[in-house]
Structure 1
Amino acid sequence: MDSGMGNGSHQESGLSKSVWSDADFEEMGWHDATIHGLSVQPTEDVLPRLLLDLDYIVRWVHPIPPATHFSFWVSPVTLVFEDVFDFEGDLDFKVRALDLEIDGVHRLTSDDARPNFAHVPLWHIEGHAFDLKFRASGFRQYFRQAPKVVSGQVLPYAERGGCAFTELGFS
């Protein structure tokens, strides 16, 4: 795995570095982030990796009158969970269009009776029309570009560089 240790920061948006991990979990928030792609990647080890391509909202910007709508600092990111198992999910698009917008990401303590797995966190990605639960040893999130201020919560497809799973933070 490429360490991808980009040292990029973006003072104007408040982003202090371009690669984050589960050690930074308490400082992070995925509310209203949009998932553009999901990939399960086999590894040389026994357990696969789960990669998500998403638009991460670095900061919400309050409107300055006469403006009435928020703007957003948004960056395309690759979120990679390592050593994934016990994956389960549910998609429900009866009411909404095919839209994978995250409501929250939760790290839950394990109540697993299996001694080898009790220490592995349970992750819950809760969406407005989907739900994913799985165990993973941890994650890294790679900010592939410096954040851009936009009027919506999603970057235009061409500006974000399409769908990608690049594991390299910007410098």
Structure 2
Amino acid sequence: MSDGSHEESGLSKSTWSDGDFEAMGWHDATIHGLSVQPTGDILPRLLFDLDYIVRWVHPVPPATHFSFWISPATLVFQDVFDLEGDLDFTGVGLDLEVDKVHRLVPDDARSNFSHCPLWLIEGHAFELRFRASGFRQYLRQAPRLVSRQALPYAERGGCAFTEIGFS
């Protein structure tokens, strides 16, 4: 498993990038932390600590609920600008769960930033929009098969922004 693959879950590698975007999905991924990190350059990085659902497992009767292969992950967007968003925590829960991540072609005429797509992260109680040149996602631990869509805080190693995939 030195390449970060995990045969049981179907995972082929532990580090992904925007080149893999079409093969990835963040539906119901739980965000545990967010950080805007200065880089010393002009544009900062945007980091997410999340539980990435590697694979949904259909229930086998008599079971009636899905189970999930989940790995704690660090998602890092590079060269971030025009960051804006909304949070709506009216009601009971304070969970940040992703619904969908979109990579869009911006409709502005900033020719010097034409290489930076518009990213839209839609959540169940939030929305973030920003421009970024791309991303890398690091699965920090081998996926675990669990019955819920998020790992217990202690089992995932708390909140972290480590940029190394497991091996």
For the superposition of Structure 1 and Structure 2, which TM-score range results when normalised by the shorter chain?
Answer: over 0.9
Match of 2:66 in 1: 70
Q: CA deviation at 1:7?
A: 2.3
Matched, 1:152 2:155: no
Q: Which amino acid aligns with 1:17?
A: K
- Residue of structure 2 aligned with 1:92, choices 82, 88, 91: 88
Q: Which segments of structure 1 move beyond 4 Å, counting only runs of 4 or more?
A: none
Report if the CA contact (8 A) 1:96-1:129 is conserved.
Answer: no
Query: RMSD over aligned Cα, in angstroms?
Result: 0.9
**In the alignment, is the contact (CA less than 8 A) between 1:91 and 1:131 conserved in 2?**
yes
Q: TM-score under structure 2 normalisation?
A: 0.97
Gaps of 5+ in 1: 1-5
Residue ranges of structure 2 left out of the alignment (5+ in a row): none
Tell me if the contact between 1:7 and 1:169 (Cα under 8 Å) persists in the aligned partners: no
How many residues align structurally?
166
Instruction: Name the structure 2 match of 1:142.
Output: 138
Deviation at 1:17, TM superposition (A): 0.2
User: What's the % identity of the aligned pairs?
Assistant: 80
Aligned counterparts, 1:33-48, within 5 A: 33-48=29-44
Match of residue 26, structure 1, among 22, 36, 45: 22
For residue 122 of structure 1, what is the aligned residue in structure 2?
118
Q: 2:75 is paired with a residue of what secondary structure? A: strand
The answer to whether residue 108 in structure 2 is matched with residue 108 in structure 1 is no
Residue 101 of structure 1 aligns to a residue whose secondary structure is strand
| TM-score under structure 1 length normalisation | 0.95
Q: Is the 1:53–1:76 Cα contact (8 Å) retained in structure 2?
A: yes
